[in-house]
Chain A
Amino acid sequence: MKVVSYSEYCLGCGLCRIHCAAGHDGYNGNILKAYKRGTPRPRADLIFHQDQSWLNTCQHCPDAPCVNACITGALQQYDRGVVYIDEEICVSCYTCIMVCPYGHIFPGEQAVLKCDLCRERPGQPACVAACPNGALRLVNEGETA
């Protein structure tokens, strides 16, 4: 399971990353509170490349290189191929960052930051729900984008 980004529909507005950051900051996704009082950090970022843009987010790769390389066992692949990080176990060695071909995983203080498909959030991931132009879609394993 992963979020697929369609660059042909992406407007580059960045609402995805704002909702992503707010959704992981303990204010129930409330953007105003998160950005005023919290320390919002997105788990995915927009790429602007030539005349295109797209959300560069975790592909939850089968046989994920980050899971293979993780020195502590903090990164593991769970049901439906989703790769989660156990922030209690991570030591921020950045080995996962070094092997992710997409450059998805972000440096963090105690633990690295990565997409968890908003597992605490009911319904669609925050980025998908926030996209005003239908450029993001949650795709199940085996389903074609």
Chain B
Amino acid sequence: MKYVIIGNGIAAAGAVEGIRSRDRESPIAIIDGEQRGSYSRPLITYYLAGKRKAEQMHYRPPAFFHQQGVTVIPDRAVKIDNQTRQVILQSGLVVGYDRLLLATGASPIIPEIPGIRQNGCVKTLYTWQDAEQLDLLVTPGQRAVVMGSGLIGIKAAEALYQRGMQVTIIEKQTQILPRLLSRTSAELVKEHLQDKGIEIITGQEVTRINGDNGVELADGRRLTAQLVIVAIGTRPNLSLAADCGLAVNQGVLVDSHLRTSDANIFAAGDVIETNDILTGYPAVMALLPLAHREGFLAGQNMAGAACSYPGGLLINSVHVLGMNIIGAGSPQIPGQTWLWQQGNHYLELVTESGRLVRYIALNMPQVTGPLTSLIEKQMEIQDSLWQEFISQPGLNRLPPMYWEAIKEVADNDSYRCRAI
């Protein structure tokens, strides 16, 4: 059996672990288009901020791949020939496979705005190389505009701020971090960032970029900026999959075993369209923990197992300028809201028929693990118990049935391969 993985991100590392849990012998090749080894993408903002050195960027160290008998090929895949089961690389090299994993990730979306492609001051912050290039452009005292206030936008703004730049965030939606926060919690985070000196403009779009002079907004305002970061979202890298005829929609389509429409090709990570387990709707989740789990399960399935993957839950934890923001669940499901706030600690729960469907925790990390688990389990809990919990949130106040359920499964096996 010959395994080939296209991409060397989180899903690829998970896949190596998954394959090797079932097959110690067969050769594995990783085609590493970025040619930077296995590194953690979220760390690039730490790198830009100067808090992380190059040697601290590994997600799995080079020795890991060596020990696992993996050949890492620093080259880019340009074509998949699924008839002859071959991957053609940019250098002309051809790599044959029996089982292929598409872990090609995503790329930042660049909107069609006049001036955006012509100006050297416009950058993205998505790869390690982006961070290195930005590092050279950072000039303390100058102004940077960050388009978008998602996780990348917020972390980019933080890094540039910490490097001494004046930072303005422009968000099209009427609140920041729209995928993660509610309106109330977004206001608190916005106040926190503004207090630190980051300027935030919501409900506005950049409509033109004028060279070194700055940007124009929809309402006609002009902002001077020496640097513009585009962080309005990402999109799966679909071309390899689409060109060889695999079924794609927003992302590569996979079945419950992470297999694409070609029986020999699997896909995992930011490139796939999976299910939001809470809403049941198809979604491109693009979250690191999911990429690792999908890779791990796909890897086992490539080696002959039949692990099923139900989909993922939207979860995120991020720190900005001393504030910890954790959120999970679906913003779309309406329900009853429970609020608690004390100083800069804030907790918001949304329940629907007693079931937790969302929470947002600011500077309240300790209770979030069980809350995530409560969303996953969809345990029905009486309002009086939610009331008791929210009156003084803590592990001691969790609903009794939660602790009973969790003590029963002392070995938490919710992430184990379940063959269905």
What is A's interface to B at a CB cutoff of 8 Å? 4, 45, 47-50, 56, 59, 61-65, 68-69, 71-73, 88-89, 91-95, 97-107, 145
Q: Report whether A69 and B410 are in contact in the complex, using a CB–CB cutoff of 8 Å.
A: no
Q: Report whether A106 and B366 are in contact in the complex, using a CB–CB cutoff of 8 Å.
A: yes
In whole angstroms, how far apart are the Cα atoms of A61 and B373 in the complex?
A: 14
Q: Report whether B415 and A102 are in contact in the complex, using a CB–CB cutoff of 8 Å.
A: no
Our pick among B61, B365, B410 for the contact of A97 (Cβ within 8 Å) is: B365
Our pick among A48, A59, A88 for the contact of B411 (Cβ within 8 Å) is: A59
Q: A49-B398, A56-B395 are in contact. List 8 more A-B contacts (CB 8 A).
A: A47-B396, A61-B413, A62-B411, A62-B413, A71-B288, A73-B59, A91-B51, A97-B317
In whole angstroms, how far apart are the Cα atoms of A59 and B413 in the complex?
A: 11
In whole angstroms, how far apart are the Cα atoms of A98 and B319 in the complex?
A: 13
Our pick among A63, A71, A94, A101 for the contact of B370 (Cβ within 8 Å) is: A101
Asked whether any CB of chain A lies closer than 8 Å to the CB of B110, the reply is no
Interface window among B22-30, B40-48, B114-122, B195-203: B40-48
How distant is B351 from chain A, measured CB to nearest CB, in Å?
Answer: 18
Which residues of the other chain, B, contact A62 by a CB distance below 8 angstroms? 411, 413, 416
Q: Report whether A97 and B369 are in contact in the complex, using a CB–CB cutoff of 8 Å.
A: yes
Q: Report whether A102 and B406 are in contact in the complex, using a CB–CB cutoff of 8 Å.
A: yes
Q: A59-B410, A94-B324 are in contact. Are A103 and B366 (CB under 8 A)?
A: yes
How distant is A33 from chain B, measured CB to nearest CB, in Å?
Answer: 28
Our pick among B56, B317, B411 for the contact of A93 (Cβ within 8 Å) is: B317
Q: Report whether B413 and A94 are in contact in the complex, using a CB–CB cutoff of 8 Å.
A: no
In whole angstroms, how far apart are the Cα atoms of A103 and B292 in the complex?
A: 21
Which residues of the other chain, A, contact B372 by a CB distance below 8 angstroms? 98-99, 101
In whole angstroms, how far apart are the Cα atoms of A56 and B46 in the complex?
A: 32
What is B's interface to A at a CB cutoff of 8 Å? 14, 40, 42-43, 46, 51-52, 56, 58-61, 288-289, 292-293, 296, 315-319, 324, 326, 328, 365-370, 372-373, 395-396, 398, 400, 403, 406, 410-417
Which residues of the other chain, B, contact A49 by a CB distance below 8 angstroms? 396, 398, 400, 403
Our pick among B56, B59, B318, B406 for the contact of A101 (Cβ within 8 Å) is: B406
Which residues of the other chain, A, contact B414 by a CB distance below 8 angstroms? 65, 101
Which residues of the other chain, A, contact B368 by a CB distance below 8 angstroms? 94, 97-98, 103
Q: Report whether A91 and B52 are in contact in the complex, using a CB–CB cutoff of 8 Å.
A: yes
Of all chain A residues, the one with the shortest Cβ separation from B288 is: A71
Our pick among B292, B318, B370 for the contact of A69 (Cβ within 8 Å) is: B292
Q: Report whether A73 and B373 are in contact in the complex, using a CB–CB cutoff of 8 Å.
A: no
In whole angstroms, how far apart are the Cα atoms of A91 and B367 in the complex?
A: 20
Which residues of the other chain, A, contact B60 by a CB distance below 8 angstroms? 73
Q: Report whether B43 and A91 are in contact in the complex, using a CB–CB cutoff of 8 Å.
A: yes
Which residues of the other chain, B, contact A107 by a CB distance below 8 angstroms? 324, 365-366
How distant is A119 from chain B, measured CB to nearest CB, in Å?
Answer: 21
In whole angstroms, how far apart are the Cα atoms of A50 and B400 in the complex?
A: 8
In whole angstroms, how far apart are the Cα atoms of A85 and B18 in the complex?
A: 21
In the complex, which of the residues A47, A48, A99, A100 has the most CB atoms of chain B within 10 Å of its own CB atom? A99
Q: Report whether B42 and A65 are in contact in the complex, using a CB–CB cutoff of 8 Å.
A: no
Our pick among B51, B369, B396 for the contact of A105 (Cβ within 8 Å) is: B369
Q: A94-B319, A99-B369 are in contact. Are A63 and B413 (CB under 8 A)?
A: yes
Which residues of the other chain, A, contact B369 by a CB distance below 8 angstroms? 97-105
In whole angstroms, how far apart are the Cα atoms of A91 and B57 in the complex?
A: 11
How distant is A51 from chain B, measured CB to nearest CB, in Å?
Answer: 11
Q: Report whether A47 and B403 are in contact in the complex, using a CB–CB cutoff of 8 Å.
A: yes
How distant is A93 from chain B, measured CB to nearest CB, in Å?
Answer: 6
Q: Report whether A97 and B411 are in contact in the complex, using a CB–CB cutoff of 8 Å.
A: no
Of all chain A residues, the one with the shortest Cβ separation from B396 is: A48
How distant is B316 from chain A, measured CB to nearest CB, in Å?
Answer: 8
Q: A91-B52, A99-B369, A103-B367 are in contact. Are A59 and B396 (CB under 8 A)?
A: no
Q: Report whether B395 and A47 are in contact in the complex, using a CB–CB cutoff of 8 Å.
A: yes
Of all chain B residues, the one with the shortest Cβ separation from A141 is: B411
In whole angstroms, how far apart are the Cα atoms of A34 and B351 in the complex?
A: 43
Q: Mind listing 27 A-B residue pairs with CB under 8 Å?
A: A47-B396, A49-B396, A49-B400, A49-B403, A56-B395, A61-B411, A64-B415, A65-B412, A65-B415, A68-B14, A68-B293, A69-B288, A72-B43, A73-B40, A73-B58, A73-B60, A91-B52, A92-B319, A93-B318, A95-B289, A95-B317, A97-B369, A98-B316, A99-B372, A102-B406, A103-B368, A106-B366
Which residues of the other chain, B, contact A68 by a CB distance below 8 angstroms? 14, 289, 292-293, 296, 415
How distant is B52 from chain A, measured CB to nearest CB, in Å?
Answer: 7
Q: Report whether B289 and A99 are in contact in the complex, using a CB–CB cutoff of 8 Å.
A: yes
Which residues of the other chain, A, contact B398 by a CB distance below 8 angstroms? 49
Which residues of the other chain, B, contact A73 by a CB distance below 8 angstroms? 40, 58-61
Which residues of the other chain, B, contact A50 by a CB distance below 8 angstroms? 400
In whole angstroms, how far apart are the Cα atoms of A102 and B369 in the complex?
A: 7
Of all chain A residues, the one with the shortest Cβ separation from B57 is: A72
Q: A4-B410, A61-B412, A102-B406 are in contact. Are A94 and B326 (CB under 8 A)?
A: yes
Q: A73-B60, A105-B369 are in contact. Are A99 and B315 (CB under 8 A)?
A: yes
In whole angstroms, how far apart are the Cα atoms of A64 and B319 in the complex?
A: 23
Of all chain B residues, the one with the shortest Cβ separation from A52 is: B403
How distant is A73 from chain B, measured CB to nearest CB, in Å?
Answer: 5
In whole angstroms, how far apart are the Cα atoms of A100 and B406 in the complex?
A: 11
